[in-house]
Amino acid sequence: MRPQRTKIKVLIVDDSAIVRKILTETISAEPDMEVIGTAPDPYIAREKIISLHPDVLTLDIEMPRMDGLTFLKKLMLYHPMPVVVISSLNSSSCDSSIDALRWGAVDALAKPGGPYSVGDLRTAIPAKLRAAAIAKIRKPHLASAVESSTRPITQNGSGKVGVIAIGASTGGTEAIREILQRLSLGLPGIVITQHIPPVFSGAFAKRLNDLCAIEVKEARDGDEVREGTALVAPGNFHMLVRRSAGSYYVQVQTGPQVCYQRPSVDVMFASVAEAAGAKALGVLLTGMGSDGAQGLLRMKLAGAQTIAQDEDSCVVYGMPREAVKLGAACQVLPLSEIASVLSVGGIAPAMRRVDHEVELR
């Protein structure tokens, strides 16, 4: 007989009895997961973490006695573990949820309501919990904009790249922050697809804009992809890059999910391959699943330079691994080196290196 796989043990922390019920039913329906307890506030959660030893915690932000962000900071200091934030869509909760990712939460989801339905949650939460269960938990990195600007990285002025495209999922908000915070003005326009819920994407872009030298904003349909600016795909919308009259702009549109995602990295990368070809540079960062792998391959086949984040620096080595398996990555680099490559406009074809013995064709 095959040994039975151990189920992922989940502790739900939320002050709403209705939300606890919805999450319990959703998670318990998965054959590889079990809810081992619930808690209406962080004080009870603390005792249950000690006694029940969960693998993953779901955490609300707005709770009585102690808010979720304060609890997360204490948890990551004294008992680091995978946490998925499940929060409401109001402005303060979205800002706090993005801050929670900075303090070590693996991912964030919106509670049912508004543009986010119970059905959406039942589709998304199992995947998020599976990713969290295998994620590498890292200490929060809280570098400020002042710190990053004291050591600017400058571009070499090669001007060969017209569009930089970055895709990410689990762990990607901090990976993207680390890259963008090290970039200086004068770089080609950047487009970013991060798997993120509606409304949260706006808070994410605003936070990056506050931290980075370059301008970062949530994309709107028709926005130009211009030097010194990064456009973030809005949650629940695909973002495509188009070319017209010598310039690049984005289309923001709805459509079916691709690789179970909207926005999809594959959709963005494929559009960049068509619009910019060899004048593009694609970067696929940490994340669960395979979204972006096929799109990165299309970029490479169109002559673009392509980078996949390496396994050691990924929170979840899923999407980059699939790209490496396909031979889609011209380079496989640690996160700490990617900003330098972007800053010099990529590496000339003769100097490109490929790790893990991925053959260039």
Active-site positions read: 169, 195, 291
Contact indicator for 171, 314 with CB cutoff of 8 Å: yes
Task: Sort 273 into a burial class: Cβ within 10 Å, 0-12 / 13-18 / 19+.
Answer: buried
Task: Sort 98 into a burial class: Cβ within 10 Å, 0-12 / 13-18 / 19+.
Answer: buried
Task: Sort 147 into a burial class: Cβ within 10 Å, 0-12 / 13-18 / 19+.
Answer: exposed
CA distances from 249 to 13, 28, 161, 193, 305 (A): 42, 44, 15, 15, 20
| SS3 state of residue 291 | coil
Closest CA to 14 of 36, 35, 33, 41: 41
- For 322-357, letters b (16+ CB in 10 Å) and e give bbbebbbbbbbbebeebbebbbbbbbeeeebebeee
34 Cβ partners below 8 Å, 6+ apart? 7, 8, 9, 10, 27, 28
The Cα–Cα gap between 153 and 175 comes to 17
Task: Sort 139 into a burial class: Cβ within 10 Å, 0-12 / 13-18 / 19+.
Answer: exposed
Closest CA to 231 of 189, 196, 199: 189
DSSP tag of 41: S
The Cα–Cα gap between 348 and 334 comes to 19
Please measure the distance between the N-terminal and C-terminal CA atoms of the chain and give it in whole angstroms.
Answer: 44
Tell me the pairing of strands 163-168 and 189-194: parallel
The Cα–Cα gap between 141 and 181 comes to 12
